[in-house]
Structure 1
Amino acid sequence: MAAAAGAGSKSRASGSAEKADAAAWMAVAAGTLGALMATLDISIVNSALPTIQGEIGASGTEGTWISTAYLIAEIIIIPLSGWLERVLGLRTLLLGTTVLFTLFSIVCGTSTNLGMMIFGRAGQGITGGALIPTAQTIIAQRLPRRQQPIGTALFGVTAIMGPVIGPVIGGWLAENISWHYAFFLNVPLCAALVILLLVGLPHEKAKLGQLAEADWLGIAGLAFGLGGMTVVLEEGQREQWFDSSLIQITTAVSVLGFICLFVGQRFAKRPVIKLSLLLDRQFGSVAVMGVFVGIALYGTSYVIPQFLSNVSGYNALQSGLVVMISGIPSLFVMAMVPILLKHVDIRIAVAMGITLLGLSAIINSHLNSLSVGHDFTDGQLMRGFGQILSFMFLSQAVVQSVPREDAGDASGLFNAMRNMGGSLALAAISILQDKRLWLHERRIEESLNANSYAVQHYVSSNGGITMAAPQLGQQIMGQAYVMTYNDIFWLMGVATLATLPLVLFLRPLSKNAKPAAVH
């Protein structure tokens, strides 16, 4: 092991003169596998969510917590990954998070109620979130410079494939075996990851003394601020907002958390998140666009399976296959990224990506009760092109918009902002689904006059008022669902397109830029 580590170090020192050894590539394989698991579990529950909700007794709006808990936990851990790596050592950190990720996956797979599932998903997010940025660290540390683009390409394909194939795998397991195995699948993957880590990465001595220098105020503020804000957004509608003591308390916790986070910015030797980077014109613009791109991506990947299940009657596997369509153009464009980075102006590429993302959502805002999977094809193809153009170029802009010593903080902050966009999207969808569904149901009911010929004919043709009333109620509910989902798609599209003016704040990339890793 020591010899392997020495060879790896020698390779790094000599730059392009040498090739990485087998241990280095095993380390890269470990990082890639870990990132695959983490990104896979973001979306693996989406297509099976209606089934999971039914079995654990959760409503449609409560079910958003199953996805939101993972994203919020990831937001908290991603900026901390660099610090944890320095304190514990890379191998120790990854081994610990891998084992814990497995245990939390088992908790999710054995969940019998919503609370247990949320606990498991939050645990998955905390541990899985650390697997993503550390994969990029392995590529930078274990591969010589001339082989790093290969590692970056492998990571990029993994990062794209995880969210794309997740709904398909989750749907297939839910339909053919059981939704529980969407989580149990992680057990053999984690076992393989542990073996690769033990062989491919050298042990590093922990530096526990750095725990005393940590920005604990900022860490607590980040957790309580984001966690409290999410509870307020998710539960506010059901709890009648500030009429509820729960919302009052969680709002106070959130405000106190953000105050602690900002105090940490002022007094900590090294803040948990360097928020001052947001004051940079380019990086601030990139971060804001990242939030809204996250809203478009995570929002649509959640709403599409919900529509197909509630309106079109699709099962989990069929919904997953529709979601997977967006991965086809993403993989195609990924191979062209190095060429695009050299020859396409970042402002044009990002503008095109955001436009495609926005239009893909707006296209899906004209659905009806007869819409099925193929009605999403055009939007999904546009979304696939848009997500790779926007993310790859925005990630490159992150690296080049800040000093080299701040690149790690900037990358963590950007990824956290993007996940925050996804969390905000799911919370907003929960609120909109409740409010707009009620509104559309009342409007449809108001348009039906009990004495009209059409209503009387419907009643007489369907066995009288006793039999016709429930059927009519179901049809009203179905139409209200369609109108609600159309509203959600339209709002996501408009919100994404509204960020287009920020493209003007971007600066051209260096023509010699290497593809930056992104998840």
Structure 2
Amino acid sequence: MANALRQAICLLGIVALMAVDGINGTLLVVNRGQVMGGYAATPDEAAWLNIAYLATKLIAFVSTPWLVGRYDAVKTTWVGGLLLAVVTGALAMAPDLTFAIAIRAAQGACGALVLVAAQTLVFQAYPATRQPLLQSMIALAVVVVPVMVAPALHGWVTDAHDWRDLFVGAAVTALLACVAFHSTRPREPARVASNAPRPVVQLLLAPAIVGVVYVMQEGARFDWFDAVHIRVVAVASVIALACASWFALRGDAGRQAMRHAGAHPDFVFGLCASFFAGFALFGSGAAIPLFGNVVLSLAPEHVGQLALSSSIAAAAGLALAGLALQSGRVPVVAPIPVGIALFMTGMWLLSLSSAQTGAPQMLLATWLRGFGMGLLFVSLTVMTLGGLPRERMAGGVALFNLGRQAGGLAGMAFVSTMLEWRLPAHGVALWQHVPMGSAELDATQATLMNLWMEQGLAAGEATTASAAWIARQVQQQSAARAFDEIFLSLAMFFVVAIPLLLGTKVFLARQSRRAQHAQRHLAAP
């Protein structure tokens, strides 16, 4: 009993540290205006708060496996958690935007350190038969908190107090989690050597990732490749990524990586699937708060509650999938198609929303989406990482999280691009049905003018106010139609993704059979 309690406290500390990283990752989701006002920043300047966080996080994913192999997963988790607590609290005291951007970069690096080291530790320290439930608990922090819970926390704290207060509370939580983890940490697993990325690879990879993140975050803002600097950054980043990949795959390290990929087709398939799952998760997680902000004109607290409504369903999906897989009676891939179907149904229901839709009408759709994501991610994690050998676990965890985060970047870029393109298009289409001088428009404007004049406005002011009200209604309806298309596109995303994933699965199975046949042929006398 005492040992079980120690394990539960240790795991709770790990989940809490990951949850703090989820809170850090959702800055600007519902409180962009308040953060910009606090730093007197323009939208382009404030965007660097997210660019710095995401870029350093992706870069750190590449280097963390070497740290885990050098210092073991327990020490790396503990030190990473302490650093995470420090930099989380530091953001609350950042005096200006430049300092805040530097802190955000440190938050991203520490978050990656904790995610990779802690998840690797769970796989190494606990038996495989318990992994489904353990990974479902980790997914609570990795999937549910950043997409569904943290936006509500940001909204509530922003409306009730100050957005910085949440980071003070998160820092205290991280410190307590570090204490709990250190006092109940499992026995340090044997260190597994892991080669650090070659210096030339690191030199090429760092600016390439920064460039990719910048393009993904700011591409829609500048209409993508219509802007010269976006084209230059995109081309330079692609060239740097290609060169880094070429240097990384040269020599013995490259041959070992290819042999590892051939020996573990489930890992390669899961890595591809993590990108698509991240696209759907973070894309929908960005679209729902935007719908509440742009269409429903909700305050930050209520925008966060839209995302929070699906958290209970997501937690239930995670628990159900974990219990089903741990029982051994359910194949590891069985919950994945069910989760995809529920996610598609939920997003299709959201595509039926209008400007008059309220949170109660969206409840069923958000619950289906959350429950589907819960089923999907547990199965995907266990299938991808469950069969990896011990010496490859840290690298596998890093790549899996990197794939999910890269997919999330693409999903958020897709949502922002669709909104930038489709909102004006729907506005033009709707204004064609509001012809100036028509009897219906004149009657509506006359009624509004009378209402404004009854409230004490002069005739000229009432005319201006009624025209502005009509323009706002057209803008709101245009935004509602644009979001309907975004939700429907996310629902239909898997119509494209599933054939690609199935094709990848078939290809990997054939390659695996060929490799096994070649090995048997060589082994035959």
TM-score (normalised: structure 1): 0.80
How far residue 370 of structure 1 moved from its aligned partner, in angstroms, is 0.7
Question: Equivalent residue for 1:428?
Answer: 414
Cα pair 1:330 1:385 within 8 Å, conserved = yes
Would you say the 8 A contact 2:224–2:230 is kept in 1?
A: yes
Q: Is this contact kept in 2: 1:101–1:127, CA < 8 A?
A: yes
Q: Give the alignment of 1:364-379 within 5 angstroms.
A: 364-379=350-365
User: How far apart, in 2, do the equivalents of 1:140 and 1:229 lie?
Assistant: 31
State the Cα deviation string for residues 252-311 of structure 1 (Å, max 9, x = none): 43123212321233236547x958866775444333322222122112222212221222
Are the structure 2 counterparts of residues 284 and 145 from structure 1 closer, same or farther at C-alpha, using a change threshold of 3 Å?
Answer: closer
1:475 matched residue in structure 2: 473
| Contact persistence 1:72–1:227 (CA under 8 A) | yes
2:305 corresponds to 1:317? no
Decide which of 349, 352, 361 is 2:347's aligned counterpart. Answer: 361
- Whole-angstrom CA distance in 2 between matches of 1:411 and 1:161: 18
Q: Which residue type is aligned with residue 474 of structure 1? A: R
User: 1:318, 1:490 → 2: CA distance?
Assistant: 23
User: Residues of 2 paired with 1:313 and 1:467: CA distance?
Assistant: 19
**After the TM superposition, which of the residue ranges 473-482 and 151-160 deviates more from structure 2?**
151-160
What residue is the counterpart of 1:438 in the other structure? 424
SS state of the match for residue 426, structure 1? Answer: helix
Match among 217, 221, 232 for residue 249 of structure 1 = 232
> Partner amino acid for 2:276?
F
Aligned with 1:128 (options 88, 93, 111): 111
Aligned partners of 1:354 and 1:85: how far apart in 2?
34
Letter of the aligned partner of 2:488 in structure 1?
Answer: W
Determine whether 1:35 maps to 2:18. Answer: yes
CA deviation after TM superposition for structure 1 residue 146, in Å: 7.6
Query: Which amino acid in 1 is paired with 2:496?
Result: A
Aligned pairs (5 A) from 1:57-456: 67=50, 69-90=52-73, 92-110=75-93, 117-142=100-125, 152=135, 154-159=137-142, 161-163=144-146, 164-196=148-180, 198-200=182-184, 214-242=197-225, 244-267=227-250, 270=253, 274=257, 282-341=266-325, 342-399=328-385, 405-456=391-442
Deviations 1:96-146 (A, max 9, x none): 433432343245334577665554333312211211222223334555778
Q: Deviations over 1:154-175 (max 9, x none)?
A: 5354445533322222222112
Residue by residue, what CA displacement relative to the aligned partner does 1:159-217 show, whole Å, maximum 9, x if unpaired?
A: 4553332222222211211111122222212322443455445999xx9x988x54233
**Structure 2 Cα separation of the partners of residues 333 and 466 of structure 1:** 51
User: Could you tell me how far 1:417 is from its partner in structure 2?
Assistant: 0.8
Q: Whole-Å Cα distance in 2 between the matches of residues 346 and 150 of structure 1?
A: 13
Answer yes or no: is the 8 Å Cα contact 2:61–2:116 preserved in 1.
yes
TM-score (norm 2): 0.80
Q: Is the 8 A contact 1:61 1:434 kept in 2?
A: no
Supply the distance in 2 between the matched residues of 1:372 and 1:153 (Cα, whole angstroms). 31
Q: Distance in 2 between matches of 1:200 and 1:307?
A: 43
Please list every run of 5 or more consecutive structure 2 residues that lacks an aligned counterpart in the other structure.
Answer: 450-459, 507-525
Identify the range of structure 1 (246-255 vs 143-152) with the bigger mean alpha-carbon deviation.
143-152
2:514 maps to what in 1? none
Residue range with higher mean Cα deviation, 19-28 or 281-290: 19-28
CA distance in 1, matches of 2:349, 2:260: 35
Q: Structure 1 stretch 161-170 or stretch 87-96: which is displaced more?
A: 87-96
Query: Which deviates more, 54-63 or 376-385?
Result: 54-63
Question: Do the aligned partners of 2:85 and 2:171 also contact (CA within 8 Å) in 1?
Answer: yes
Contact 1:94/1:131 (8 A) holds in 2? yes
Shift of 1:46: 2.8
**Structure 1 residues 362 and 53: alpha-carbon distance in aligned structure 2, compared to 1, 3 A threshold:** farther
Return the alpha-carbon distance in structure 2 between the equivalents of residues 290 and 505 of structure 1.
13
Tell me the secondary structure at the aligned position of residue 171 of structure 2.
Answer: helix
In structure 2, do the counterparts of structure 1 residues 136 and 482 end up closer, same or farther at CA, with 3 Å as the change threshold?
same
8 Å CA contact retained: 1:364, 1:376? yes
Contact 1:28 1:135 survives alignment (8 Å): no
Q: Residue 47 of structure 1 corresponds to which residue in structure 2?
A: 30
Secondary structure of 1:343's counterpart equals coil
Please tell me whether the aligned partners of residues 133 and 322 of structure 2 are also in contact (alpha carbons under 8 angstroms).
no
| 1:352 positional shift | 1.4
Over residues 291-347 of structure 1, what are the superposed CA-to-partner deviations in whole Å (9 max), with x where a residue is unaligned? 222122112222212221222232222222221222222322333335422233444
Report the Cα offset of residue 421 of structure 1. 0.9
Check 1:347–1:141 CA distance in 2 against 1; reply closer, same or farther (3 A cut): closer
Match of 1:488 among 483, 486, 489: 486
> What's the secondary structure of 2:356's corresponding residue?
coil
1:369–1:479 CA contact under 8 A, matched in 2: yes
Q: After superposition, give the CA deviation of every residue in 1:47-79 in whole Å (9 maximum; x if it has no partner).
A: 334543454456779877655654443333234
8 Å CA contact retained: 1:398, 1:411: no
Aligned-pair CA distance for 1:87: 2.6
Q: Shift of residue 422 of structure 1?
A: 0.8
Report the alpha carbon displacement of residue 364 of structure 1 after superposing the two structures with TM: 1.0
Provide the C-alpha distance between the structure 1 equivalents of 2:375 and 2:127, rounded to a whole number of angstroms: 27
Structure 1 stretch displaced more, 330-339 or 478-487: 330-339
Secondary structure (helix, strand or coil) at the match of 2:249 reads helix
Distance 1:61-1:234 versus aligned 2 partners, 3 A rule: same
Tell me, in whole angstroms, the C-alpha distance in 2 between the residues paired with 1:136 and 1:244. 40
Q: 2:403, 2:258 → 1: CA distance?
A: 11
Contact preservation (8 Å) 1:351, 1:500: no
Give 5+ residue unaligned stretches, structure 1: 1-17, 508-519
**Aligned-residue CA RMSD in angstroms?**
3.8
Residues in 2 aligned to 1:270 and 1:499: alpha-carbon distance in whole angstroms: 31
Comparing 64-73 with 340-349, greater Cα deviation is found at: 64-73
In 2, distance between residues paired with 1:339 and 1:150? 6
Q: 1:422 to 1:64 in 2, by over 3 A?
A: farther
Contact preservation (8 Å) 2:340, 2:372: yes
